[in-house]
Structure 1
Amino acid sequence: MAERAAVLQAQQRSGRRSVILVVMNGGPSQLETFDPKPNAPSEIRGPLRAISTAVPGIAFSEAFPRLGLRAGRLAVLRSLCHQAAPIHETGLQLLQTGRLVRQGELPPSLGAVATRMLGPRDDMPAHVVLPERVSETGVGSYCGDGAGTLGDEFAPVVVDAGGAASPAAGTDSDDAVPLLPEFATQPLAVRDEYGETDFGRMCWQAARLVESGVRVVTVNTCPRLDGHVTWDAHASGPTSPGTLYDYRNTLGPQLDRAVAALHDDLSATGLFDDTLVVCTGEFGRNPRRNENGGRDHWTDCWSGLAFGGGIRGGQVIGQTDDYAESIVDRPLPIEDLVATMYRTLRIDPAAMNADEIAESVSRDVPVPELIG
């Protein structure tokens, strides 16, 4: 009874708070996204131009003009980092749980902890993953997107392209259960605003899920890496075909349109201040291009965006050197970003490490500088 009372208290304290994590699976290049270096040598700065944004002194890659226009309401994260192995699995573990697998114990995702501590809201699941959990990452180990040690009872609900929850996500039926209308049935103006792409559909779904009561939505922009064009821009043939030109031609413009529309949607529906949106990947890319003209994995620094949820817009968190190779001011370990997401939900970040998660709820969780 005491444990259930703690969970009910947590629900009341969390209120309408939600988190949308837009994962740029594969690891986005800082130079081709939100930390361009126009004065670096050509072999470092790459093929994309830097463009001005609405905030003087803040430049983005040319692939993100719509987000640039909204820079006054964004926090630009330029000093994300971690010291674990430079592979997708460890980066995704840290991004989604704040921890690494230790001695065979799988840490639960933020969404799983929210499910355990806060429970459903408005008859909607606490944690939804779009459009599927991550796979084909190379090593094939845990990517931090499950319930881990909490057990399958707290696993995420997976919602597919048609807006239906997979029966594998804990439903009692063999058939998928509709949670959302199909994006394709929405008015043309809505589809045009988000873009009629996978990125656009998923960001629209994320907004509708939060509006319906979901606490944590994970958007996997590229859920399968092997053999697909993703942010993993090695340019190394059939297994890793993504290139820096894909950032300019497809990935960047599609994400730019979708996330800008998500920003505007949350503002229009009154959800902006209560919903923290984080958009980043599991690591960055090496400023020194490989023999194919691509960029390999780099954990020393990378970039992302955050907005809503009480965040102060128009700020830049951290600074890198002239090549975006190392951090020169205010490192932001990825674990600290996860702690910020916890705090947004009014869950004490100690829950990342607590044996008894229900006891780590705090009514007055301090707000970190990042979202102050």
Structure 2
Amino acid sequence: MLNLSGDGSVRTCDGVSRRDFLQVGSLGAIGLSMADLARQSVLAADSTTGAGKNDRACIMIFNLGAPSQLDTFDPKPDAPREIRGPFQPIATRSPEIQISEILPRHAELAQHISFVRSCNHSAPAVHDAGWQMMQTGRFFTGGVNTPHAGSVTAYLLGRKTDLPPFVVLPELMGSGGGNLPNGQAAGFLGKAHDPFALNADPSKPDFVVPDLLPPKQIGEARMDRRRRMRDVVDQTIAGFEKSENAQLLDSSFQSAFRIISSPQARDAFDLSKEPQSVRERYGMNRFGQCCLLSRRLVEAGVRFVTVNTFLTVFNEVTWDIHGTLPFTSIEGMKNVVAPMYDQGYSALIEDLSQRGMLDNTLVCNLAEFGRTPRVNPAGGRDHWPQCWTVYFAGGGVKGGRVIGRSDPIGGDPAERPVTPPEIVATIYQSLGLNVETHLPGPAGRPFPLADFGTKPIMELFS
């Protein structure tokens, strides 16, 4: 591992050992090595084939575990009780839209939100498969791991500041039980475009991102000397320096110092700069503080932030409401999950709107599938990829509308079916990326940003 403060035995006239130079810190606690993170920044900055369209950002809230469409955003009050469930629909700020009573703050913001109630896919009804589909637009097949939409954005648009262009909060998804890639990586674009994963809980009193802060024992002057150490290495291993790998290492080294010493990066992650009243409005829990942090990161120049509402579906209260342990009951969703989620999301939308950031920030709320129309014998609902609801706000989306419609029991699309590739294409549309763009795919073959014929959901923007 790399170590910013390690002692070495061979020292230069600047007092810095060659070993110190070659062992430069670790970002392992936040998901990437420093070299990986730096390569991400360098290569992303050099790969601007789609830049210049606009300056929008995206916050993807991924509802890991999959909310029940009938108990949240697509209630069916006229269906039999075993279909409609225990909750009543409530009116929203948009007269034609009703949602579940367990999300009252969403109802107050419906004028900003557009719901897509006809999302569906034909992949296996396992969490991992849905995670891939909804975040990459494709199912993992033939050994091809398609990149996350955030990695594509980082590759095509590059970074805007010292901060990485793509961040995942609070950490990458864990196991979904299917033993498949979860879709939160750069895939064939390479690790240089993997997300910066925080790997910390920002709601904790002692929350810091230590590897973005210069260690106390290393002053700015010493860090500057280490930058100049490249000249020493050039002289001693000049042959190596001519290689492509060495040139990448050189760029990575310089960029790593820029990131680790950046006041902007440190400030963006510093939630102590927020008034306590603002933090409490978001909710003093992991999800709420991740929503607040996502706003700060976008404000500081991060292009794409993914917030995972949960990290796994096992042994914690989540959207995965099978009704029996180790999963969640409908009551658990009502009493624990929904209040936390409703508070954090509504605070984010209100905050972005009040700061004049909402039109320039797409907030999309996705999930891997829906839940069975019929309540199961345990009082829960099981996996159902045939139909569910996702929704969008900001980023050019016109709020207060519904796209698509489900059948009377919320089991199948009845109008305007929407697939995961269309969802991802819609994100690209908001960010100004042309879905007909081609990426450098496996074996050097051009790889289209979206499947042939896939179009964004243009009704959201008009």
Structures share a fold, TM > 0.5? yes
User: How big is each residue's C-alpha offset from its partner over 1:76-121, in whole Å with a ceiling of 9 and x where there is no partner?
Assistant: 1211111111111111111110011121111111111111111111
Work out which of the residue numbers 125, 135, 143 in structure 2 matches 1:96.
135
Give the 3-state SS of the residue equivalent to 1:19 in structure 2.
strand
- 2:380 is equivalent to residue 294 of structure 1: yes
Residue among 160, 171, 176 paired with 1:137: 176
Q: Matched residue pairs, number? A: 361
Cα distance, 1:326–1:257 mapped onto 2, change above 3 Å: same
1:114-161 Cα distance to aligned partner (Å, 9 max, x none): 111111112221100000100121122101110111111111001232
Alignment of 1:357-368 (within 5 A): 368=458
Equivalent residue of 1:278, what SS?
Answer: strand
Distance 1:256 1:214, change over 3 A: same
Match of 2:92 in 1: 53
Q: Which amino acid aligns with 1:282?
A: E
Please tell me whether residue 218 in structure 1 is matched to residue 218 in structure 2: no
User: In the alignment, is the contact (CA less than 8 A) between 1:340 and 1:371 conserved in 2?
Assistant: no
Q: Which amino acid aligns with 2:433?
A: I
SS at match of 2:305: strand
Deviation at 1:342, TM superposition (A): 1.0
Alignment CA distance shift 1:366-1:108 (3 Å): closer
Give TM-score scaled by structure 1 length: 0.89
TM-score scaled by length of structure 2 = 0.73
- The reply on whether 1:350 has 2:436 as its aligned counterpart is yes
Question: Per the alignment, do residues 359 and 77 of structure 1 end up closer, same or farther by CA in structure 2, a change over 3 Å counting?
Answer: closer
Mapped partners of 2:364, 2:72: distance in 1: 14
The 1-side partners of 2:321 and 2:379 are apart by 9
Q: Deviation of residue 12 (structure 1)? A: 2.5
Letter in 2 for 1:331: P
* Residues 1:283 and 1:140: Cα distance change in structure 2 (over 3 Å): same
Distance 1:16 1:321, change over 3 A: same
What residue in structure 1 maps to residue 238 of structure 2?
none
Residue number among 255, 274, 277 corresponding to 1:186 in the alignment:
274
Q: Separation in 2 of the partners of 1:325 and 1:8?
A: 42
Q: CA 1:343–1:45 in structure 2 vs 1: closer, same or farther (change >3 Å)?
A: same
Quote the residue 1:127 is aligned against.
Answer: 166
Q: Distance in 2 between matches of 1:348 and 1:127?
A: 19
Give the partner amino acid of 1:219.
V
Question: Cα distance 1:360–1:186, how it changes in 2: closer, same or farther (>3 A)?
Answer: closer
* Counterpart residue type for residue 289 of structure 2: R
Structure 2 residue 317 is matched with structure 1 residue 229: yes
CA–CA separation in structure 2 for the residues paired with 1:158 and 1:55: 37
- Return the letter of the residue paired with 1:67: H
Deviation at 1:58, TM superposition (A): 1.1
Deviation of 1:49 (Å): 1.8
The aligned amino acid for 1:345 is L
CA contact (8 A) 1:98 1:352 kept: no
1:204 aligns with 2:249: no
Match of 1:43 among 58, 82, 91: 82
Residue 338 (structure 1) aligns with? 424
Aligned pair partner of 2:346 in 251, 260, 268: 260
Name 1:7's counterpart in structure 2. Answer: 47
Asked which structure has the greater CA Rg, the reply is: 2
Q: Deviations over 1:254-304 (max 9, x none)?
A: 111111111111112221111111112110000112221110000111012
Aligned equivalent of 2:209: 164
Q: 1:128 to 1:357 in 2, by over 3 A?
A: farther
Q: Which amino acid aligns with 2:292?
A: W
Contact 2:73 2:100 in 1 (8 A): yes
Structure 1 residues not aligned, in runs of 5+: none
Percentage of matched positions with identical amino acids: 37
Secondary structure, counterpart of 2:143 in structure 1: coil
1: CA distance, partners of 2:366 / 2:48: 32
CA RMSD, aligned part only? Answer: 2.8
For the 8 Å contact 1:48–1:61, the answer to whether it is kept is yes
Equivalent residue, structure 1, for 2:459: 369
Paired with 2:297 and 2:459, the residues of 1 have a C-alpha distance of 28
Moved more, 334-343 or 352-361: 352-361
Cα distance in 2 between the residues matched to 1:339 and 1:155: 20
Q: What is the SS of the residue equivalent to 1:128?
A: strand
CA 1:319 to 1:367, structure 2 compared with 1: closer, same or farther past 3 Å? closer
Secondary structure (helix, strand or coil) at the match of 1:11 reads: coil
Contact conserved, 2:362 with 2:392, CA < 8 A, in 1?
yes
Q: 1:357 & 1:166 partners in 2: Cα distance?
A: 37
Q: What SS does structure 1 have at the residue aligned with 2:154? A: helix
- Take 1:223 and 1:5, find their aligned partners in 2: how far apart are those partners? 30
Instruction: Say if 1:130 and 1:158, in contact at 8 Å, map to a contact too.
Output: yes
Query: Counterpart of 2:407?
Result: 321
